[in-house]
Structure 1
Amino acid sequence: MRRRRFLALGSGLAASTLLAGCTGDTSTDATATTPAGTTSTKPEGVYVQSFEERMAMQGTTTVGDYTVALMFTVPHTFWTLTNTERSKTAKTSENAIHLMAVVWDDETGTVLPDAGVSVELERAEFLAQEVMYPMLSQPMGFHYGGNFGLAGDGTYTANVSIGGITARTTGAFDGRFESAETAEMTVEFTEETRARVGSTPIEQAGEPGALAPRTTSYLKSIASAPEDLPGTVRGTAAIDDAYLVVTGLASAERVGRPEDAYLAVSARTRYNSYELSGMALDATLERDGETVYEGALARTLSPDLGYHYGAAVPSVEAGSELTLSVRTPPQVARHEGYETAFLDTASVTLAL
């Protein structure tokens, strides 16, 4: 573990220049389906991926508490994470598509991570069943995805299963997203849909930065700007291109502790401010040389704070020191451009 000390960082750090130009999810450009490449340059942290892609939307449906969008593009190489161990999943000649799903709450427009999504593709004698990895992509943000082989052209029945949210829920989300649901959808793999997808190279590949979020019909997991968070924002720290925005609320009533304050940390990516889920984050809060809180921050989903890490604490006051320690990096798979970022198990101390 590495330990570093910082003063609180201004919110302007997250407003670095982005590269625009990703096409939307309804492109009909007649371009041959080309597997997405990878850059040979692998700088540390977030870097511009080597390609931009086009996707073929397959539809949107609502089942129970969940709204699901399904789409596909060309097969990708991606990297999964187990604790701190990163593993490469290379695309192969057997892969026909990279299938993706985004799940959100239609009432609040909140994208739902930690939902345990899997998919079953079926057509005639063909059946493929796979867990869809929680993933981060520069144009898409958080989604569930994986590479799939298919049995040629045709219409496939896609049963998208959602296991339910594992994060703690508060406020209007309390008691929701607990049930398992299955959305029946279709995947059209035809000459027409294949003409919509493909990838083209990016000249700035390998440079620090990221492709901008694409304009889409589905929602993206973009964290609220610091000034839009509830409570009093006390500062922002950075660990390995993960930006940690700290806010304090006067009451922890949302977790059944109205006599205490609530400490919340909104973790997001550099550049696009996509929410970072699946992290194990610890906090030590000190005031006047005494420790007033030491322990884990729970993964939590709230309508006003979005996906965050939080705990009830005696108070969150100016003049205190807060040390945040990443015990486990975000347990999400990464598309190219993110695979060398958000891996550090360091600590950072802020003066609140």
Structure 2
Amino acid sequence: MNRRRFLAAAGLAGASVLAGCGSVENQSTRSPPLVENRPDATYYPTHSEGMKMIGTNQAGEYMVGLTYSYPHRFWTVTGTDTEQVTIRDADSVHLMASVWDPETAMVLPVESGVSIAISADGETVAEKQPWPMVSQNMGFHYGDNYQLDGEGVYEITVRVEGMSERRLGSFEGKFGSAGELTTNFEFARSARDDIAYTEHPDKQGNRAAVGLTNMEMMPTSQVPAPEELPGELLGTKKGSDEVYAATWLSGTDFLDSGQSYLAVSVRTPYNRVPLPMMTLDGTVDVGGETAFDDGLSPAVHPDLGYHYGGVVEATGDPTVTVETVAPSQTSRHEGYETAFLATPTLEF
């Protein structure tokens, strides 16, 4: 994906600035020192930031929500390596775009990408693609820090490309075309600086996570609990802190006679946020013979959520091996940047 830059946001409603942390204006361009000896796992971050709503609107078959917050650091992922993106002095905001299905309210990771064009007074301020990201309180979204040309009204155009992921069930035939919307955003430093900000000196570094923020106008990006997945649950296994839930389906509307479907749902611990952009291989043995040995394709289904799956030309009790060829290539907010980077092989 051509990952050009965009604006994204996230936060914890009702939080407050703690004494001794410096001014909120300074916090808009700085973050506390990172935790020393961070675990190779999900950990409680040094601080949390609130977010403000810009608005929601329909873009073709998609719904899109835009929010913003203070600029903050995050990490990009290439293979199993991460690289920190630091806050620049000129950064004005961190903006977030969330995409979901208007009928089921399921958040949709769109691997083909989202693009943003921002203009003011008829002049283009920026035209970029956001990074796909996971955050403890924001869940999955698209975002980046962004420099604006001062206070004023901006016009933001969001384009969501057609999904390349397999769409199953009632999603079949949907989301194949791009959608676009345009909205206005009035930026004022006083409004940004009024966003909640809190540090976590007593919790930072602990193996835990900040809870997902619930916003009235947008759904949260969670996959179903393992026991709520359709089909026969083959089990759950922990990889490099991420959780794999494997389920085996037969007799569903998207399968032919004699076929089964292996679905592997990979999520963060604590908050069940989906982890897109992984490369998984699967092997399925049924009745002592190999019935499937191939890559597991990214897919979305209203009841399965975002997952990795494959159609198996066999029915019966399976023995499944899942190999992680590459971990999730999504960028990470603080607290996730050291997790989900290994390549385990798991058996169900």
TM-score, shorter chain, exceeding 0.5: yes
The aligned counterpart of 1:22 is 12
The 1-side partners of 2:280 and 2:153 are apart by 44
Residue of structure 2 equivalent to 1:222: 222
Q: 1:172 to 1:214 in 2, by over 3 A?
A: same
The alignment-based identity, stated in percent, is: 37
Cα RMSD for the two superposed structures:
2.1
Deviation per residue, 1:246-282 (Å, 9 max, x gap): 111113651x533211111111111111111111111
Cα distance in structure 1, aligned partners of 2:311 and 2:207: 37
Contact persistence 1:68–1:101 (CA under 8 A): yes
Q: Shift of residue 316 of structure 1?
A: 6.1
User: Which residue of 2 is the match for residue 197 of structure 1?
Assistant: 195
2:19 alignment partner in structure 1: none
- Higher RCO, 1 vs 2 (CA within 8 Å, ≥6 residues apart): 1
1:94 aligns with 2:90: yes
Alignment coverage as a number of residue pairs:
324
User: Residue in 2 aligned with 1:207?
Assistant: 206
Is 1:52 matched up with 2:48? yes
1:43 aligns with 2:33: no
Q: Which runs of 5+ in 1 are unaligned?
A: 1-20
Partner of 2:4: none
Query: Could you list the per-position Cα deviations for residues 50-100 of structure 1 after superposition, in whole angstroms to 9, with x for gaps in the alignment?
Result: 101111111111121111110110111111112333222111101111110
> Is the aligned partner of 1:76 residue 2:68?
no
- The amino acid of 1:292's aligned partner reads A
- The alpha carbon displacement at 1:198 in A equals 4.8
Match of 1:122 in 2: 119
Preserved CA contact (<8 Å) 2:117 2:124: no
Q: CA deviation at 1:184?
A: 0.4
TM-score, normalised by the number of residues in structure 1:
0.86
Checking the alignment, whether the CA contact within 8 Å between 1:55 and 1:196 is kept in structure 2 is: no
Alignment gaps of 5+ in structure 2:
1-10, 17-22
Give, in angstroms, the shift of residue 126 of structure 1. Answer: 5.2
Q: Which whole-Å CA distance do the structure 2 matches of 1:312 and 1:62 have between them?
A: 33
1:303 pairs with 2:294: no
How far did 1:46 drift? 0.6
The 5 Å alignment of 1:250-265 reads: 250-251=250-251, 253-254=253-254, 256-265=255-264
Contact 1:32–1:198 at 8 Å: present in 2 too?
Answer: no
d(CA) in 1 for partners of 2:117 and 2:68? 14
Q: Is the 8 A contact 2:287 2:316 kept in 1?
A: no
Q: Answer yes or no: is the 8 Å Cα contact 2:60–2:179 preserved in 1.
A: yes
TM-aligned CA distance change 1:291 to 1:126, over 3 Å: closer
Give 1:289 deviation, angstroms: 4.8
* 8 Å CA contact 2:59, 2:160 repeated in 1: no
